[in-house]
Amino acid sequence: MNKPLRRISLFCGLLVLALLIRTNWLQYVQAEDLSTRKENRRVLIAQYATERGNIVVQGGEPITGSAETDGSDFKFKRTYTDGPLWAPVTGYASQVFGSTQLENIEDGILTGNDDRLFFDRTIGMFTGEKKQGGNVVTTLNTAAQKAAFNGLGNRKGAVAAIDPRTGAILALASTPSYDPSSFAGFSEADGKAWNDLNASPDKNLVNRALRETYPPGSTFKVVTAAAALENNVVTDVNAPTDTPEPYILPGTRTPMVNHAKGCEKASLNFALEVSCNSVFANLGDKVTRDKMVQTAEKFGFNDTIDTPVRAFASVYDKTMGRDGNAQSSIGQFNTAATPLQMAMVSAAIANDGKLMKPYMVDQLTAPNLDVIEKHSPQEMSRPLSAANAQKLQQMMVNVVDKGTGSNAKIKDVVVGGKTGTAQHGEKNAKRPYAWFISYAENPDGTSPVAVAVVIEDSGADREDISGGGQAAPVAKAVMEAVLKNKR
């Protein structure tokens, strides 16, 4: 072979080698990236070619479905039963706008693409059965969810309810809500519904129970009480404290304002019952900032919580001065909490000091209902001893029986609670938030439900807004729903 032919042969050989390398690179190295790219329409067509698995609540009731579409190469779109009621739990799955929350986190199970469903897909290839998605079985209680949603009504706010014994989330409501079905498809109407929601100043798409933090106001006083007991700043809840009237914030000339009477040297028990600001500011200062931070973090503050939907971190400032710590000890200044976080606080106290990790997915099942994964309750921390938790329980029961939380009373049921009215805005000019946290007991002393309610805008006059007036009746309805379901 002459020299020119050898050169041509060598060049062609290099081209073939380059082609083989490129082909293998695409097939084995870049395959996953290419197959999951949002620009790859074939993947989207395949995703919507089959019915999506369902999200299910307690009792086996599906709250999602699928419907065939017209005029689109996406055969099926997502549907929702009582969409606005369950949207804070499900999130949305849209052919155009993607997915959020459980629809997004458990997408592999719901579409049937999860590796754990490989055997089902393989069997289907031989039997000719259509590919199906698996199901996500949640811990949500329908009666509790409806009580929370209906209790909030047309007011802006949120509710979180937990089973203190396991951490199972029983209700997760947020208002104003939205219907995920309204933009699940590919039509012009779906686009308009999406644009209208995003243009709304009410932030309907935000899950306020997990993704909004608020000053917790006086509901945070139970955390301060726990810190005072755990650090031996208070050993007798009925003994007088050394709180003067007026109480001056440390390092300032600013008096702490009380809205209750009888706060001078008030005991911890009485101070929680009537909600004395001065007593808890004084106790927070005596505990010290660092130990207040330590206790708050044991309850879950300063960390994100995956339920598996991620909740924003609640905040107790690690760097503030003494005056800031005193104000934070009554749930003001820089303190901020999600409703889920404050439900966790109440749950830990109700569960004798043991905080269980919150979760909302009980199990994942295959299309044939075989269990793929089952959740096991996990202890998260011990914010306080059983003995101190029981002292706080009695103090919270006094709040409901004799104090500011009387609107949460349930006949023949032991209920503990704490009200809160949180100031916010520049110079506290905006309407305060109404808070209530609580728990209810079974006859054997265990607690099947702990609740946190926050109402951003009750529509009431400023002077009429209170946690006991606006939020406590909602918490009561949720607790009654759970108790009725357990009987």
Q: Which CATH number belongs to the domain containing residue 355 in this structure?
A: 3.40.710.10
Task: Look at the block and give the residue holding tokens 């007593």.
Answer: 279
Catalytic residue, candidates 218, 275, 278, 314: 218
* 287, burial (CB in 10 Å: exposed 0-12, middle 13-18, buried 19+): buried
Start-to-end Cα distance in the chain:
94
Kindly tell me if the per-residue pLDDT of 205 is higher than 50.
yes
Task: Look at the block and give the residue holding tokens 């032919």.
Answer: 5
* 147, burial (CB in 10 Å: exposed 0-12, middle 13-18, buried 19+): buried
- State how beta strands 135-138 and 55-57 pair: parallel
**pLDDT at site 370:** 87
Amino acid sitting at position 218? S
> Do the domain assignments include residue 420?
yes
> Do the domain assignments include residue 436?
yes
Contacts (Cβ under 8 Å, ≥6 apart) of 455: 152, 155, 156, 157, 433, 434, 435, 470, 471, 474
pLDDT tens-place string over residues 181-191: 999 998 899 99
Amino acid sitting at position 395? M
Please give the angle made by the CA atoms of 239, 324 and 418, to the nearest 5 degrees.
Answer: 50
Kindly tell me if the per-residue pLDDT of 345 is higher than 80.
yes
> Do the domain assignments include residue 4?
no
Confidence of residue 288 (pLDDT cuts 50, 70, 90): very high
- State how beta strands 379-381 and 371-374 pair: unpaired
pLDDT tens-place string over residues 210-256: 999 999 999 999 999 999 999 999 999 999 999 999 999 999 999 99
Give catalytic status of residue 218 as yes or no: yes
164 upstream amide cis, omega within 30 of 0: no
| Domain coverage including residue 302 | 210-362+376-486
Q: Model's pTM, two decimal places?
A: 0.88
Q: How far, in whole angstroms, is CA 275 from its chain's centroid?
A: 26
**pLDDT at site 51:** 87
Kindly tell me if the per-residue pLDDT of 321 is higher than 90.
yes
Kindly tell me if the per-residue pLDDT of 114 is higher than 50.
yes
CB 411 within 8 A of CB 194: no
> Do the domain assignments include residue 38?
no
User: Domain tally for the chain?
Assistant: 1
Kindly tell me if the per-residue pLDDT of 112 is higher than 90.
no
Mean pLDDT, the chain, integer: 90
- Does residue 445 come out as left (phi exceeding 0), alpha (psi in the -120 to 50 range) or beta? left
> Do the domain assignments include residue 385?
yes
**pLDDT at site 124:** 55
> Do the domain assignments include residue 480?
yes
> Do the domain assignments include residue 449?
yes
More confidently predicted of 188 and 379 = 379
> Do the domain assignments include residue 61?
no
Handedness of CA 423, 425, 427, 430 (dihedral sign): negative
Distance of alpha carbon 312 from alpha carbon 303, whole angstroms: 8
